[in-house]
Amino acid sequence: MDMFVVRGGRPLRGRVTVSGAKNAALPIMAAALAANGTTVLHGVPDLVDVTTLSQVLRSLGMFVERRPDNSLALTAVDEQRCLADYELVRRMRASVCVLGPLLGRRGRACVSLPGGCNIGHRPIDLHLKGLRALGAQITIDRGYVFARADRLIGTDIYLGGSFGSTVTGTCNVLCAAVFAEGVTTISAAACEPEVVDLGRYLNAMGARIEGLGTPLLRIEGVHSLAAVEHTVIPDRIEAATLLIAATMAGGRLQVDNVDAQHLAAVIDVLRMVGVGIEIRDRTVIVTAPDRIRSLDITALPYPGIPTDVQAQLTALLSTAEGISVVTDKVFPDRFMHIPELMRMGANVRREGASSIISGVKTLSGACVMASDLRASAALLLAALAADGESVIRRVYHLDRGYERLEQKLNQVGADITRVADLPETMPNSLQLSEAEQQPLAVDASDVPPPKFLSKGEFDRYRTPQ
Ligand code: EPZ
Residue 98 near residue 110, CB atoms below 8 Å: no
Enumerate residues lining ligand 1, CB below 6 A.
22-23, 26, 94, 119, 121-127, 161, 163, 166-169, 194, 307-308, 330-331, 373-374, 401
Q: How far is the CA of 166 from the centre of ligand 1 (A)?
A: 6
Rounded CA separation 381/221 (Å): 46
What is the position in ligand 1's atom list of the atom closest to the CA of 97? 15
Residue nearest to atom 18 of ligand 1 (CA): 166
Report the pLDDT value the prediction gives residue 465, as an integer from 0 to 100.
Answer: 42
Q: What ligand 1 atom has the least distance to the C-alpha of 119? A: 35
User: 22-233+439-461: CATH homologous superfamily?
Assistant: Enolpyruvate transferase domain (3.65.10.10)
Cα-based angle 150, 151, 152 (whole degrees, multiple of 5): 130
For residue 124, report the distance from its CA to the centre of ligand 1, in Å. Answer: 9
Distances, alpha carbon 368 to alpha carbons 34, 79, 347, 371, 395, in Å:
43, 45, 16, 10, 11
| 175 has catalytic annotation | no
The amino acid at 254 = Q
- Tell me the best of 117, 158, 167 to mutate to test the pocket of ligand 1, counting ligand atoms within 8 Å of each CB and taking the most: 167
What's the pLDDT tens digit per position in 332-352? 999 999 999 999 999 999 998
Domain range summary for the chain, segments of one domain joined by +: 2-18+234-430, 22-233+439-461
Write the CA distances from 171 to 26, 54, 196, 230, 369, integer angstroms.
10, 18, 9, 17, 32
Compute the distance between CA of residue 299 and CA of residue 330 in angstroms, rounded to an integer.
7
Distance 331 CA to ligand 1 centre (A): 8
Q: State the closest ligand 1 atom to the C-alpha of 372, by its place in the atom list counted from 1.
A: 22
Expressed in angstroms and rounded, the spacing between residue 11 Cα and the centre of ligand 1 is 34
Report the separation in Å between the CA atom of 120 and the middle of ligand 1, taken as the mean of its atom positions: 10
DSSP classification of residue 329 = S
pLDDT in tens, 263-318: 999 999 999 999 999 999 999 999 999 999 999 999 999 999 999 999 999 999 99
| pLDDT computed for residue 444 by the predictor | 44
Check whether domain 2-18+234-430 has CATH 3.20.20.60, yes or no = no
* Ligand 1 atom nearest 124 alpha carbon: 40
Sheet containing 38-42, strands listed edge to edge, beginning at the edge strand earlier in sequence? 62-66, 72-76, 38-42, 229-231
Q: Do domains 2-18+234-430 and 22-233+439-461 have the same CATH topology?
A: yes
What's the pLDDT tens digit per position in 32-77? 999 999 999 999 999 999 999 999 999 999 999 999 999 999 999 9
Comparison of pLDDT for 299 and 436, the residue scoring more: 299
Helix H segments across 96-192? 99-106, 125-133, 167-177
The catalytic position among 97, 110, 117, 175 is 117
